[in-house]
Structure 1
Amino acid sequence: MNGRESVLSAIRGALSGVPGFESPDDVPHSHGRRADHAGPDVVGLFAERAAEYRATVVRVPPADAAAAVGHALARTGARSLVVPPGLPEDLVPAGPWSLLTDVPPLTVGQLDAADAVVTTVATAIAVTGTVTLDHGPGQGRRVLTLLPDQHICVVRADQIAPDVPEALRLLDPYRPLTLISGPSATSDIELDRVEGVHGPRTLDIVVVGDA
Protein backbone atom coordinates (compact mmCIF):
# COMPACT_ATOMS: atom_id res chain seq x y z
CA MET A 1 0.00 0.00 0.00
CA ASN A 2 1.44 3.35 -1.03
CA GLY A 3 1.05 6.66 0.80
CA ARG A 4 -2.03 7.74 -1.14
CA GLU A 5 -3.83 4.49 -0.47
CA SER A 6 -2.94 4.70 3.22
CA VAL A 7 -4.44 8.20 3.53
CA LEU A 8 -7.61 7.26 1.65
CA SER A 9 -7.99 4.10 3.73
CA ALA A 10 -7.73 6.12 6.93
CA ILE A 11 -10.37 8.57 5.67
CA ARG A 12 -12.73 5.75 4.71
CA GLY A 13 -12.27 4.21 8.14
CA ALA A 14 -13.02 7.48 9.89
CA LEU A 15 -16.18 7.96 7.83
CA SER A 16 -17.44 4.41 8.10
CA GLY A 17 -19.88 5.21 10.89
CA VAL A 18 -21.20 8.47 9.44
CA PRO A 19 -24.77 8.27 8.05
CA GLY A 20 -24.95 9.01 4.36
CA PHE A 21 -27.53 11.74 4.85
CA GLU A 22 -25.40 13.73 7.32
CA SER A 23 -23.51 16.82 6.16
CA PRO A 24 -20.71 18.76 7.92
CA ASP A 25 -23.13 21.58 8.74
CA ASP A 26 -25.27 19.15 10.77
CA VAL A 27 -22.48 18.61 13.31
CA PRO A 28 -22.17 21.22 16.08
CA HIS A 29 -18.70 22.70 16.44
CA SER A 30 -17.23 22.66 19.92
CA HIS A 31 -13.63 23.81 19.97
CA GLY A 32 -13.59 24.93 23.59
CA ARG A 33 -11.97 28.33 22.96
CA ARG A 34 -13.07 31.76 24.13
CA ALA A 35 -14.07 34.10 21.32
CA ASP A 36 -12.68 37.06 23.28
CA HIS A 37 -9.29 35.58 24.24
CA ALA A 38 -7.53 38.53 22.58
CA GLY A 39 -8.57 40.65 25.56
CA PRO A 40 -10.46 43.92 25.77
CA ASP A 41 -7.91 46.09 23.91
CA VAL A 42 -8.03 44.51 20.47
CA VAL A 43 -6.58 47.58 18.73
CA GLY A 44 -3.71 47.84 21.18
CA LEU A 45 -2.90 44.15 20.83
CA PHE A 46 -2.87 44.44 17.04
CA ALA A 47 -0.49 47.41 17.18
CA GLU A 48 1.80 45.55 19.58
CA ARG A 49 1.91 42.34 17.55
CA ALA A 50 2.36 44.13 14.21
CA ALA A 51 5.29 46.08 15.69
CA GLU A 52 6.86 42.80 16.80
CA TYR A 53 7.03 41.89 13.11
CA ARG A 54 9.03 45.11 12.51
CA ALA A 55 6.12 47.04 11.05
CA THR A 56 5.92 50.73 11.97
CA VAL A 57 2.51 51.29 13.57
CA VAL A 58 0.86 54.62 14.41
CA ARG A 59 -2.63 55.30 15.76
CA VAL A 60 -4.34 58.50 14.66
CA PRO A 61 -7.82 60.07 14.55
CA PRO A 62 -9.52 60.04 11.12
CA ALA A 63 -8.62 63.68 10.46
CA ASP A 64 -4.90 62.88 10.71
CA ALA A 65 -4.83 59.78 8.49
CA ALA A 66 -3.44 61.50 5.39
CA ALA A 67 -0.81 63.32 7.47
CA ALA A 68 0.31 59.97 8.94
CA VAL A 69 0.68 58.55 5.43
CA GLY A 70 2.71 61.63 4.49
CA HIS A 71 4.98 61.21 7.52
CA ALA A 72 5.63 57.58 6.55
CA LEU A 73 6.59 58.66 3.04
CA ALA A 74 8.83 61.45 4.30
CA ARG A 75 10.58 59.07 6.70
CA THR A 76 11.76 56.86 3.85
CA GLY A 77 12.34 59.70 1.39
CA ALA A 78 9.82 58.32 -1.10
CA ARG A 79 9.63 60.18 -4.39
CA SER A 80 6.74 58.29 -6.00
CA LEU A 81 3.52 56.82 -4.59
CA VAL A 82 1.26 54.23 -6.23
CA VAL A 83 -2.44 54.90 -5.65
CA PRO A 84 -4.78 51.96 -6.37
CA PRO A 85 -8.28 52.51 -7.82
CA GLY A 86 -10.94 53.19 -5.20
CA LEU A 87 -8.57 54.56 -2.55
CA PRO A 88 -10.35 57.40 -0.70
CA GLU A 89 -8.94 60.72 -1.82
CA ASP A 90 -8.65 61.96 1.76
CA LEU A 91 -5.97 59.31 2.40
CA VAL A 92 -3.64 60.69 -0.27
CA PRO A 93 -1.31 63.33 1.22
CA ALA A 94 0.10 66.28 -0.64
CA GLY A 95 3.88 66.30 -0.87
CA PRO A 96 6.93 66.25 -3.10
CA TRP A 97 6.20 62.71 -4.32
CA SER A 98 4.59 61.97 -7.68
CA LEU A 99 1.33 60.02 -7.74
CA LEU A 100 1.05 56.94 -9.96
CA THR A 101 -2.50 55.72 -10.60
CA ASP A 102 -3.06 52.16 -11.75
CA VAL A 103 -5.52 53.16 -14.51
CA PRO A 104 -4.51 52.00 -17.06
CA PRO A 105 -2.51 49.30 -15.26
CA LEU A 106 1.07 50.23 -14.50
CA THR A 107 3.77 48.04 -16.01
CA VAL A 108 6.03 45.82 -13.94
CA GLY A 109 8.89 48.22 -14.69
CA GLN A 110 6.91 51.22 -13.45
CA LEU A 111 5.92 49.42 -10.25
CA ASP A 112 9.45 48.20 -9.64
CA ALA A 113 10.70 51.78 -9.94
CA ALA A 114 8.00 53.15 -7.60
CA ASP A 115 9.05 53.90 -4.04
CA ALA A 116 5.81 53.26 -2.16
CA VAL A 117 2.18 52.18 -2.36
CA VAL A 118 -0.69 53.05 -0.03
CA THR A 119 -3.70 50.76 0.38
CA THR A 120 -6.64 50.10 2.62
CA VAL A 121 -7.28 46.57 3.92
CA ALA A 122 -10.14 44.10 4.07
CA THR A 123 -9.53 43.25 7.73
CA ALA A 124 -6.74 42.84 10.28
CA ILE A 125 -6.01 40.24 12.96
CA ALA A 126 -5.04 41.32 16.46
CA VAL A 127 -3.35 38.22 17.88
CA THR A 128 -1.10 37.76 14.84
CA GLY A 129 -0.51 41.41 13.89
CA THR A 130 -1.64 40.58 10.36
CA VAL A 131 -3.32 42.74 7.73
CA THR A 132 -5.45 41.04 5.09
CA LEU A 133 -6.16 42.31 1.60
CA ASP A 134 -8.84 40.93 -0.71
CA HIS A 135 -7.77 43.34 -3.48
CA GLY A 136 -11.06 45.17 -3.64
CA PRO A 137 -11.44 48.97 -4.02
CA GLY A 138 -8.57 50.82 -2.38
CA GLN A 139 -6.34 47.74 -2.28
CA GLY A 140 -5.47 47.20 -5.91
CA ARG A 141 -3.90 44.29 -7.70
CA ARG A 142 -1.63 41.99 -5.73
CA VAL A 143 1.43 43.11 -7.71
CA LEU A 144 0.93 46.67 -6.44
CA THR A 145 1.85 45.54 -2.93
CA LEU A 146 4.78 43.35 -3.98
CA LEU A 147 7.08 45.53 -6.09
CA PRO A 148 7.27 49.00 -4.44
CA ASP A 149 9.77 49.07 -1.58
CA GLN A 150 7.36 50.55 0.98
CA HIS A 151 3.77 49.49 1.69
CA ILE A 152 1.55 51.77 3.76
CA CYS A 153 -1.65 50.14 5.03
CA VAL A 154 -4.50 52.23 6.38
CA VAL A 155 -6.55 50.16 8.84
CA ARG A 156 -9.77 51.35 10.45
CA ALA A 157 -9.92 50.32 14.09
CA ASP A 158 -13.30 48.65 13.54
CA GLN A 159 -11.73 46.38 10.89
CA ILE A 160 -9.49 44.65 13.45
CA ALA A 161 -10.75 41.19 14.43
CA PRO A 162 -9.49 39.53 17.62
CA ASP A 163 -8.34 36.26 16.04
CA VAL A 164 -8.03 34.34 12.78
CA PRO A 165 -11.47 32.61 12.88
CA GLU A 166 -13.22 35.94 13.49
CA ALA A 167 -11.28 37.56 10.64
CA LEU A 168 -12.06 34.74 8.23
CA ARG A 169 -15.77 35.17 8.90
CA LEU A 170 -15.45 38.74 7.62
CA LEU A 171 -13.76 37.70 4.37
CA ASP A 172 -15.14 36.35 1.11
CA PRO A 173 -13.38 32.99 0.53
CA TYR A 174 -13.90 33.35 -3.21
CA ARG A 175 -11.77 36.50 -3.42
CA PRO A 176 -7.95 36.44 -3.71
CA LEU A 177 -6.58 36.97 -0.21
CA THR A 178 -3.16 38.27 0.78
CA LEU A 179 -2.16 38.03 4.46
CA ILE A 180 0.76 40.25 5.48
CA SER A 181 2.58 39.98 8.80
CA GLY A 182 5.40 42.52 8.78
CA PRO A 183 7.71 43.48 5.91
CA SER A 184 8.93 40.82 3.51
CA ALA A 185 11.74 38.83 5.12
CA THR A 186 13.62 35.57 4.74
CA SER A 187 16.67 33.92 6.28
CA ASP A 188 19.52 31.97 4.73
CA ILE A 189 20.98 28.74 6.06
CA GLU A 190 22.98 30.70 8.65
CA LEU A 191 19.77 32.46 9.81
CA ASP A 192 20.88 35.86 8.54
CA ARG A 193 17.69 37.88 8.07
CA VAL A 194 17.22 39.57 4.69
CA GLU A 195 14.29 41.91 4.09
CA GLY A 196 12.67 42.92 0.82
CA VAL A 197 13.35 39.73 -1.16
CA HIS A 198 9.73 38.76 -1.81
CA GLY A 199 8.03 42.10 -1.31
CA PRO A 200 8.34 45.50 0.42
CA ARG A 201 11.16 45.84 2.93
CA THR A 202 9.18 48.53 4.80
CA LEU A 203 5.64 48.12 6.14
CA ASP A 204 3.83 51.07 7.71
CA ILE A 205 0.43 50.60 9.33
CA VAL A 206 -1.79 53.58 10.10
CA VAL A 207 -4.59 52.62 12.49
CA VAL A 208 -7.42 55.12 12.19
CA GLY A 209 -9.88 55.77 15.01
CA ASP A 210 -10.73 53.79 18.13
CA ALA A 211 -12.56 50.45 18.27
Structure 2
Amino acid sequence: MVRIAEHNDWVVYCILGSIFIYIILLSVFQRDSNVKDFLLLKLEDSNNLTPSWLIISIVKCLMTALLLSQFVPIVPKLFSIDVLGFQINKFGFTFLALLSFDVIKNILTFLFYSSIGSGKNLKGLTLVSSKFYFLESIVFIIASFALYFFPVDLVKYFYFIIGMVIFSFFLKNLIYIFHNQSILPEKRYYKFLYICTLQIVPFLVLWKFLFY
Protein backbone atom coordinates (compact mmCIF):
# COMPACT_ATOMS: atom_id res chain seq x y z
CA MET A 1 0.00 0.00 0.00
CA VAL A 2 3.06 2.26 0.16
CA ARG A 3 4.35 3.46 -3.15
CA ILE A 4 8.03 4.30 -2.77
CA ALA A 5 9.03 5.14 -6.34
CA GLU A 6 7.06 6.67 -9.17
CA HIS A 7 7.19 3.56 -11.33
CA ASN A 8 4.54 1.10 -12.38
CA ASP A 9 6.33 -1.99 -11.10
CA TRP A 10 3.91 -2.14 -8.17
CA VAL A 11 1.01 -2.25 -10.64
CA VAL A 12 2.56 -5.27 -12.34
CA TYR A 13 3.00 -6.95 -8.96
CA CYS A 14 -0.65 -6.31 -8.07
CA ILE A 15 -1.94 -7.65 -11.38
CA LEU A 16 0.33 -10.69 -11.51
CA GLY A 17 -0.34 -11.40 -7.84
CA SER A 18 -4.09 -11.32 -8.44
CA ILE A 19 -3.81 -13.64 -11.44
CA PHE A 20 -1.62 -16.02 -9.43
CA ILE A 21 -4.13 -16.00 -6.57
CA TYR A 22 -6.94 -16.86 -8.98
CA ILE A 23 -4.90 -19.74 -10.39
CA ILE A 24 -4.45 -21.09 -6.85
CA LEU A 25 -8.15 -20.52 -6.17
CA LEU A 26 -9.22 -22.60 -9.16
CA SER A 27 -6.55 -25.26 -8.65
CA VAL A 28 -6.81 -25.77 -4.90
CA PHE A 29 -10.10 -24.42 -3.60
CA GLN A 30 -12.13 -25.38 -6.69
CA ARG A 31 -10.34 -28.69 -7.30
CA ASP A 32 -8.61 -27.99 -10.62
CA SER A 33 -11.61 -26.26 -12.15
CA ASN A 34 -11.22 -23.89 -15.07
CA VAL A 35 -12.97 -20.54 -15.40
CA LYS A 36 -15.91 -22.03 -17.29
CA ASP A 37 -16.42 -24.76 -14.68
CA PHE A 38 -16.38 -22.21 -11.89
CA LEU A 39 -18.89 -19.92 -13.60
CA LEU A 40 -21.23 -22.86 -14.29
CA LEU A 41 -20.85 -24.26 -10.78
CA LYS A 42 -24.13 -25.16 -9.11
CA LEU A 43 -24.87 -24.47 -5.48
CA GLU A 44 -25.10 -28.12 -4.49
CA ASP A 45 -21.71 -28.83 -6.08
CA SER A 46 -19.89 -25.85 -4.58
CA ASN A 47 -16.80 -26.47 -2.45
CA ASN A 48 -14.91 -24.11 -0.15
CA LEU A 49 -17.48 -21.44 -0.89
CA THR A 50 -16.64 -19.09 1.98
CA PRO A 51 -12.83 -18.97 1.47
CA SER A 52 -13.32 -18.66 -2.29
CA TRP A 53 -15.73 -15.76 -1.82
CA LEU A 54 -13.33 -14.13 0.65
CA ILE A 55 -10.36 -14.39 -1.73
CA ILE A 56 -12.36 -13.10 -4.70
CA SER A 57 -13.72 -10.18 -2.66
CA ILE A 58 -10.21 -9.11 -1.62
CA VAL A 59 -8.90 -9.34 -5.19
CA LYS A 60 -11.92 -7.37 -6.38
CA CYS A 61 -11.19 -4.63 -3.83
CA LEU A 62 -7.53 -4.64 -4.86
CA MET A 63 -8.28 -4.26 -8.57
CA THR A 64 -10.96 -1.65 -7.96
CA ALA A 65 -8.50 0.34 -5.85
CA LEU A 66 -5.89 0.04 -8.57
CA LEU A 67 -8.37 1.41 -11.08
CA LEU A 68 -9.87 4.22 -9.00
CA SER A 69 -6.91 5.42 -6.94
CA GLN A 70 -5.46 7.45 -9.82
CA PHE A 71 -8.57 9.62 -9.76
CA VAL A 72 -9.03 10.03 -6.01
CA PRO A 73 -8.37 13.74 -5.37
CA ILE A 74 -6.66 13.58 -1.96
CA VAL A 75 -5.98 11.38 1.02
CA PRO A 76 -7.91 12.89 3.96
CA LYS A 77 -5.76 14.24 6.78
CA LEU A 78 -7.38 11.73 9.11
CA PHE A 79 -5.67 8.95 7.15
CA SER A 80 -2.34 10.72 6.66
CA ILE A 81 -0.65 8.56 9.26
CA ASP A 82 3.13 8.33 9.39
CA VAL A 83 4.34 4.85 10.36
CA LEU A 84 8.10 4.28 10.41
CA GLY A 85 8.55 7.02 7.85
CA PHE A 86 5.90 5.68 5.48
CA GLN A 87 2.62 7.39 4.69
CA ILE A 88 -0.48 5.87 3.18
CA ASN A 89 -0.91 6.89 -0.44
CA LYS A 90 -4.00 7.15 -2.64
CA PHE A 91 -3.89 3.49 -3.56
CA GLY A 92 -3.62 2.38 0.06
CA PHE A 93 -6.36 4.75 1.13
CA THR A 94 -8.68 3.57 -1.65
CA PHE A 95 -7.99 -0.10 -0.95
CA LEU A 96 -8.59 0.26 2.79
CA ALA A 97 -11.78 2.24 2.15
CA LEU A 98 -13.12 -0.39 -0.25
CA LEU A 99 -12.16 -3.24 2.05
CA SER A 100 -13.70 -1.57 5.11
CA PHE A 101 -16.95 -0.79 3.33
CA ASP A 102 -17.07 -4.35 2.01
CA VAL A 103 -16.60 -5.82 5.48
CA ILE A 104 -19.26 -3.57 7.01
CA LYS A 105 -21.71 -4.25 4.19
CA ASN A 106 -21.23 -8.01 4.45
CA ILE A 107 -21.73 -7.99 8.21
CA LEU A 108 -24.93 -5.97 7.81
CA THR A 109 -26.09 -8.32 5.04
CA PHE A 110 -25.58 -11.32 7.31
CA LEU A 111 -27.47 -9.64 10.14
CA PHE A 112 -30.26 -8.58 7.78
CA TYR A 113 -30.74 -12.06 6.33
CA SER A 114 -30.59 -13.64 9.77
CA SER A 115 -33.10 -11.22 11.28
CA ILE A 116 -35.76 -11.88 8.62
CA GLY A 117 -35.27 -15.65 8.57
CA SER A 118 -33.66 -15.83 5.13
CA GLY A 119 -30.32 -17.21 6.25
CA LYS A 120 -30.75 -20.20 3.92
CA ASN A 121 -30.46 -17.84 0.93
CA LEU A 122 -27.06 -16.53 1.99
CA LYS A 123 -25.19 -19.46 0.48
CA GLY A 124 -26.77 -18.84 -2.91
CA LEU A 125 -26.03 -15.12 -2.65
CA THR A 126 -22.42 -15.90 -1.77
CA LEU A 127 -21.98 -18.15 -4.81
CA VAL A 128 -23.61 -15.76 -7.27
CA SER A 129 -21.70 -12.75 -5.93
CA SER A 130 -18.44 -14.73 -6.09
CA LYS A 131 -18.98 -15.49 -9.77
CA PHE A 132 -19.90 -11.90 -10.55
CA TYR A 133 -16.97 -10.41 -8.63
CA PHE A 134 -14.63 -12.91 -10.28
CA LEU A 135 -15.61 -11.70 -13.75
CA GLU A 136 -15.71 -8.08 -12.64
CA SER A 137 -12.19 -8.24 -11.22
CA ILE A 138 -10.88 -9.74 -14.47
CA VAL A 139 -12.41 -6.83 -16.39
CA PHE A 140 -10.83 -4.43 -13.89
CA ILE A 141 -7.44 -6.11 -14.35
CA ILE A 142 -7.63 -5.42 -18.08
CA ALA A 143 -8.85 -1.86 -17.51
CA SER A 144 -6.07 -1.20 -14.97
CA PHE A 145 -3.42 -2.52 -17.33
CA ALA A 146 -4.68 -0.18 -20.05
CA LEU A 147 -4.75 2.75 -17.61
CA TYR A 148 -1.16 2.38 -16.45
CA PHE A 149 0.58 1.09 -19.56
CA PHE A 150 -1.19 2.75 -22.49
CA PRO A 151 -1.28 6.47 -23.36
CA VAL A 152 -4.94 7.10 -22.53
CA ASP A 153 -6.69 10.41 -22.02
CA LEU A 154 -7.23 10.40 -18.24
CA VAL A 155 -10.34 12.59 -18.35
CA LYS A 156 -12.06 10.44 -20.97
CA TYR A 157 -10.88 7.27 -19.27
CA PHE A 158 -12.30 8.45 -15.96
CA TYR A 159 -15.72 8.87 -17.53
CA PHE A 160 -15.32 5.44 -19.09
CA ILE A 161 -14.54 3.97 -15.67
CA ILE A 162 -17.55 5.73 -14.13
CA GLY A 163 -19.78 4.25 -16.83
CA MET A 164 -18.25 0.81 -16.36
CA VAL A 165 -18.67 0.87 -12.58
CA ILE A 166 -22.28 2.08 -12.78
CA PHE A 167 -23.12 -0.50 -15.46
CA SER A 168 -21.51 -3.22 -13.35
CA PHE A 169 -23.47 -2.11 -10.29
CA PHE A 170 -26.83 -2.18 -12.06
CA LEU A 171 -26.04 -5.47 -13.79
CA LYS A 172 -25.18 -7.09 -10.46
CA ASN A 173 -28.45 -6.02 -8.89
CA LEU A 174 -30.47 -7.14 -11.90
CA ILE A 175 -28.80 -10.55 -11.65
CA TYR A 176 -29.63 -10.68 -7.95
CA ILE A 177 -33.27 -9.78 -8.59
CA PHE A 178 -33.94 -12.05 -11.57
CA HIS A 179 -31.69 -15.00 -10.75
CA ASN A 180 -33.42 -18.36 -10.93
CA GLN A 181 -32.07 -19.28 -7.49
CA SER A 182 -33.59 -17.78 -4.37
CA ILE A 183 -30.72 -15.55 -3.35
CA LEU A 184 -32.76 -12.56 -2.16
CA PRO A 185 -35.45 -12.57 0.53
CA GLU A 186 -38.74 -13.98 -0.74
CA LYS A 187 -40.95 -11.03 0.17
CA ARG A 188 -40.81 -8.08 -2.20
CA TYR A 189 -40.61 -5.60 0.65
CA TYR A 190 -37.42 -7.20 1.95
CA LYS A 191 -35.98 -7.42 -1.55
CA PHE A 192 -36.57 -3.71 -2.04
CA LEU A 193 -35.17 -2.97 1.41
CA TYR A 194 -32.02 -5.01 0.72
CA ILE A 195 -31.34 -3.41 -2.67
CA CYS A 196 -31.86 0.11 -1.33
CA THR A 197 -30.11 -0.09 2.03
CA LEU A 198 -27.37 -2.66 1.41
CA GLN A 199 -26.58 -2.05 -2.25
CA ILE A 200 -27.49 1.46 -3.40
CA VAL A 201 -26.79 3.39 -0.18
CA PRO A 202 -23.31 1.87 0.45
CA PHE A 203 -22.40 2.47 -3.19
CA LEU A 204 -23.33 6.16 -2.97
CA VAL A 205 -21.67 6.61 0.43
CA LEU A 206 -18.45 5.01 -0.78
CA TRP A 207 -18.40 7.11 -3.94
CA LYS A 208 -18.89 10.31 -1.94
CA PHE A 209 -16.24 9.23 0.57
CA LEU A 210 -13.63 8.66 -2.13
CA PHE A 211 -14.30 11.54 -4.50
CA TYR A 212 -15.71 14.34 -2.39
Work out whether the TM-score is over 0.5.
no
- Normalised by the length of structure 2, the TM-score is 0.25
Which of structures 1 and 2 has the bigger CA Rg? 1
Higher strand content, 1 or 2 = 1
- Normalised by the length of structure 1, the TM-score is 0.25
